[in-house]
Amino acid sequence: MRSGYCDNYSEALEMLMKNGIQEALDNVEDPQVWRENRLWKNEVDDLILNKQESIRKLFRSFAGKLLKKNQVYSNHDPPDITLAEFRYMF
């Protein structure tokens, strides 16, 4: 609408779906194929093992930062981390 390509919100939404969201969705790789081709590799496993202590420190530094009053996490190492804390970490 702001760019002047569309005259109304309905047209803008249709354009967004056809040229934006749908195009992005069409380019998303199948998650299982991604896991098999990119994640479950020896190189990735080696990297995670080599950086394991750094990853644990990172998680420890963010886990529990957004706890609500009287909320408690279990004593895992690395500790549990909420989605909100994960986003905050990044």
What is the per-residue pLDDT for 53?
Answer: 92
The DSSP letter of residue 80 is P
What DSSP assignment string belongs to 13-43? HHHHIIIIIHHHHHTPPPHHHHIIIIISSHH
Whether residue 56 is predicted with pLDDT greater than 90 in this model: the reply is: no
pLDDT for position 74:
62
pLDDT digits 0-9 by tens, 11-55:
888 888 887 777 777 777 888 988 999 899 999 999 999 999 998
Q: What is the per-residue pLDDT for 61? A: 86
User: What would the pLDDT profile of 66-88 be if each residue is shown by its tens digit?
Assistant: 766 666 666 666 667 788 888 88
Give the gyration radius of the chain's Cα atoms: 21
Residue of 58, 69, 23 whose CA lies nearest to 15 = 23
Global confidence as pTM: 0.48
Residues 6 or more apart in contact with residue 1 via CB below 8 angstroms: 8, 9, 12
